Amino acid sequence: MQASETRLAPEAPASPRLTAMPGGVSPRRALPRGPRTPRLFQSLRYSLWPYASLDISTRRYGDCYTAYPLGGPPMVVFTDPEAIKEIFTSDGAELRAGEAAGPILGPILGWHSILLLDGERHHRERRLMAPPFHGERMHVYGRIMREIADRVVDGWPLGQPFPIHHEMQAITLDIILRAVFGVDEGARFARIRERIVRFLAQADGPAAAFLAIRPFQIELRGLTPWGRFVRDREAIRAELVAEIARRRSEGTEGRTDILSMLVEARDEQGEPMTDAELIDEMFTLLMAGHETTATSLAWVFHHVLDRPDVLAKLRAELGRVVGDGPVEAQHVPQLEYLDAVLKESQRLTPVATNVIRRLTGPMRIAGRDLPAGITVSACIYATHRRPDLWPEPERFDPERFVGARPAPYTFFPFGGGIRRCIGAAFATYEMKIVLAQVLSRVELGSAPGYRMRPVLRTITIAPSGGMPVVAERRR
């Protein structure tokens, strides 16, 4: 056993009790007002109507209110940029992101995931994981992204409705397999892909909205939705164990995939990541990097397909910058309108609605004294729709972002502060490459009769029914 493997595996953190406030005030009475319906109802309402439930609470209670999710502590929700700035810039010892996300993501991603770590363990993991997601590596990954997008588009039926979300999942999954896992074509690729597809398919099922709710995580020997989820996750874990062993035994010379780079990474003490850490980080990149990116792409198509003016500007920019050839690395920074379209889609329909932190001690945020043990939320969805920040907030208007740099406390689809998504640059680059290739290759339109509603999947909010579209070859 390597020395690094002797580190104790983290466990699910115990939920701290709410502490008494100064003057003997009950901690619950010190919380801002909010919905008083039962916890089960509040969680079910969010699971079934995620965006609408936030709209209702924000209209009723304003820019600060308390929600009571099932199986967790009270959550104080903020939409004011000054409060969000305090949350993102506060000492990580006072506001714990890992502890807050643990009850939701721990059973899904594994307790070694960077999303669940706090303090020095989080800093160490972030330092080890950051290099593959920046710099010249993007150019290597860009070629892979373009090739995969072209291959998937070549298989699309013409003149018949098909779910664009599923096709974006196919693209982003193959990108994960090649660029992140380092698995190329062949029997091994097909076997691993089949197991991952079966695992991810549960996010499309009727129970998807409840998989991340702790009371519904009952195995019953694989007979329940959660039991099947765990069984399929273990099958992928076995494949990852084999891939890591192969990298350690054969070496990684000449390889450019992220898994190989993480196998070779060393911390300040010269210690590598353990197998358990590598496996949980691969699950994190799979679930966060695959599902969130595919869903973000599906939302872009939802917004632009019924806007011929936006499509015309996108294609004019692609013609001016890229021309008749494929999109290359040097083109991506010049696609300013495409970038604005992507940002406006993320503003209106973020795939995650809240950034949450757990208070380790009493704290004052936005002039409010809050007790230890609660969670606080910087609400992405509601902040992105504040009319004082975004005139006509319900309108899809990419021009808001053309030539403008949004403030980090009014626009934060990837979170903020030291916990901002480590793969944000990779995901943004990938979405631009895929969108450029699709828009250059085919004409798309919404499927006749389709009516979209936002649905909560396991960890993302997506357009319903896979967002069906109809494709025609570009003339």
Range ranked top by mean pLDDT from 77-86, 193-202, 219-228: 77-86
Q: Concatenated DSSP letters for 357-396?
A: EEESS-EEETTEEE-TT-EEEEEHHHHTT-TTTSSSTTS-
Class of residue 440 by CB neighbours under 10 A (exposed 0-12, middle 13-18, buried 19+)? buried
pTM: 0.89
Residues that constitute the known binding site for heme: 421
Q: Which two tokens stand for residue 19?
A: 């502490």
**Contact between 331 and 72 (Cβ < 8 Å):** no
60 confidence band (pLDDT: 50, 70, 90): very high
Two structure tokens written together for 115: 């999303």
Phi-psi region of 358 (alpha: psi -120 to 50; beta: other; left: phi over 0): beta
Query: Rounded mean pLDDT of the chain?
Result: 88
User: Residue 442: which of 149, 197, 18, 47 has the closest Cα?
Assistant: 149
Q: How confident is the model at residue 2 (pLDDT cuts 50, 70, 90)?
A: very low
Which pair of tokens denotes residue 38?
Answer: 């039962």
CA-to-CA dists, residue 272 to 183, 248, 339, 357, angstroms: 22, 11, 37, 28
- Looking at residue 185, its pLDDT comes to 73
What residues does each domain of the chain span? 3-473
pLDDT at 30 (0 to 100): 77
Can you give the pLDDT at residue 241? 92
CATH number of 3-473: 1.10.630.10
pLDDT (tens digit, 9 = 90+) per residue, 406-433? 999 999 999 999 999 999 999 999 999 9
CA distance 406 to 342: 13
- How far is Cα 291 from Cα 132, in angstroms, rounded to an integer? 20
Measured between alpha carbons, how far is 279 from 240 in angstroms, rounded to an integer? 6
What confidence tier does 9 reach under pLDDT thresholds 50, 70, 90? very low
Determine the Cα–Cα distance for residues 184 and 176; give it in Å rounded to an integer. Answer: 11
Q: Confidence class of residue 458 from pLDDT cuts 50, 70 and 90?
A: confident
Confirm if 229 and 202 have CB atoms less than 8 A apart.
Answer: yes
CA pair distance 415, 408, nearest whole angstrom: 9
Summarize the annotated binding site as residue ranges. Answer: 421
Q: How far apart are the first and last CA of the chain?
A: 61
Q: Measured between alpha carbons, how far is 63 from 471 in angstroms, rounded to an integer? A: 42
Closest to 108 (Cα-Cα) out of 276, 287, 351? 287
User: CB under 8 Å to 38, separation ≥6 — which residues?
Assistant: none
Percent of the chain with pLDDT over 70: 89
